[in-house]
Amino acid sequence: MDKLLAMVNGWRQGRGMHRLRRTVQGGFALFCLWAGYRFYLFSRWAAGRSPAYVPRPPSVEAFLPISALVSLKRLVLTGRFDPIHPAGLTIFLAALAMGLLLRKGFCGWICPVGLLSDILAAAGRRLRLLRQPPAWLAHPLLALKYLLLALFAFAILARMDLAAIESFQLSPYNLVVDARMLAFFLAPSAASLWVMGGLVGASLLLRSFWCRFLCPYGALLGLLALAGPVAVHRNPGKCLDCRKCERVCPAALPVSRKETVRSPECIGCTECVAACPAPDCLTVKAGRRPLPPLALPLAVLGVFFAFWVWAVLSGHWQTQVPLPLLQKIYALALTGVAHP
């Protein structure tokens, strides 16, 4: 009984929300590992290195955001859905919808890089390495991901016409880009290892280094979130000025000095709400309407799975590339295909 009461109190004070977030993030991270392993087995079969056929998991296309952005432009121009990496476009559209409606809920609850960033930040804190960059450094660092987004937007949205898009989509590079990505992780070059090691080291020093400073995907979702209805609100009359909200915020936002957190950096994780000791001080609201604690994560998962169900039922999940052709191009991918 005591345990049950403690559990209920934990939920009321928000600790349950923190555990729920970790469970959801962990579930998606495990799923990504499982999909990556299945994709590895599939690519071995497709390249003729194993006789055992394993179906290709379409969800690996989630890691092809550039291809998804190209496909999105083609969808807008022609109304035709990408037949090569349709799951990648579906997941991209789901993330955009979340960005518009639910802040960067995709970053806060689904993306496995967010969980990895949190783990590295916790390790950095334990090792006493974690630092808060001074404002003169934080602002240019925060601008980097928008700069990267602008470069991609210029190269794809402004410079690529329909002919260039269709030629890219049918290029050997795009057909095998998922296999190339797998090969990159299975046998990284010395330069890649240095870059990844640098990112891990930087994440131990500066919280969520990749997500806050370098990820153009997150930058795009943050810009969409500026127009969205959902935000964390603080009631200054109830605030204890303890700043616990700021200590747990993965985006290092000054929650205790805001009445409404509208920053494009907010990932909608609700960790601040979970950590706040003052009842009803921090609330997630849609417009002026307070939302129950579970509403945001349930809505994030609802949008994600709604897009997935729609894609599966409408035939926009599995690639339309025939298996024999995939076999040929996967064998090619493991010997190297240059960027067009």
* Least CB distance to ligand SF4 at residue 251 (A): 4
Minimal distance, residue 89 CB to ligand SF4, in Å: 27
Task: Find the binding residues for ligand SF4 in span 255-314 (CB under 6 A).
Answer: 255-256, 261, 266-272, 275-276, 278, 281-282
Rounded least distance, CB 109 to ligand SF4, Å: 10
What is the CB-side half-sphere exposure of residue 151 using CA atoms within 13 A? 9
Instruction: List the x/- string, 196-235, binding to ligand SF4 by CB under 6 A.
Output: ------------------------------------x-x-
CA distance to 155, 177, 263, per residue, from 289 (Å)? 40, 44, 19
Q: Which two tokens stand for residue 91?
A: 């997941």
109: DSSP letter? I
From 241, 288, 335, 338, residue interacting with ligand SF4 (rule: CB under 6 A):
241
Kindly tell me which residue out of 68, 94, 249, 337 binds ligand SF4, with binding defined by CB under 6 A: 249
d(CA 224, CA 234): 22
- Judged by CB under 6 A, the residue of 253, 299, 333, 334 near ligand SF4 is 253
Check binding of 242 to ligand SF4 (CB under 6 A). yes
Cβ 55 to ligand SF4, closest distance in Å?
37
Contact between 90 and ligand SF4 per CB under 6 A: no
Quote the least distance from Cβ 102 to ligand SF4, whole Å: 11
Phi, psi of 248 (to 5 degrees): -95, -10
What's the count of helices (H) and strands (E) in the chain, helices before strands? Answer: 17, 4
Based on CB atoms, which residue is closest to ligand SF4, 42 or 109?
A: 109
Cα 253–Cα 259–Cα 263 angle in degrees, nearest 5: 40
Say if residues 222 and 99 touch (Cβ distance below 8 Å): yes
Do 162 and 74 form a contact (C-beta atoms < 8 A)?
yes
Q: How many CA atoms lie within 13 A of 326 on its CB side?
A: 19
Token reading at 237: 């009359």
Q: If we measure between CA atoms, which residue out of 40, 48, 85, 83 comes closest to residue 177?
A: 85
Measure the CA–CA gap between 240 and 243, rounded to whole angstroms: 8
* Binder among 177, 239, 333, 334 for ligand SF4 (CB under 6 A): 239
Picking from 202, 227, 191, 189, the residue whose alpha carbon sits closest to that of residue 133 is 202
Look at residues 78, 88, 94, 107 and name the one whose alpha carbon lies nearest to residue 177.
88
| Total site size for ligand SF4, rule CB under 6 A | 28
Task: Write down the least CB distance from residue 234 to ligand SF4, Å.
Answer: 5
For residue 119, the minimal CB distance to ligand SF4 (Å) is: 16
The least CB distance from residue 97 to ligand SF4, in Å, is: 19
Determine the interface stretch with ligand SF4 among 85-93, 149-157, 249-257, 329-337 (rule: CB under 6 A). Answer: 249-257
Please identify which residue in 250, 264, 293, 297 interacts with ligand SF4, judged by CB under 6 A: 250
Q: What is the distance between the alpha carbons of residues 268 and 297, in angstroms, rounded to a whole number?
A: 9
Q: With binding defined as CB under 6 A, does residue 138 bind ligand SF4?
A: no
Binding residues (CB under 6 A) for ligand SF4: these are 232, 234, 239-245, 249-251, 253, 255-256, 261, 266-272, 275-276, 278, 281-282
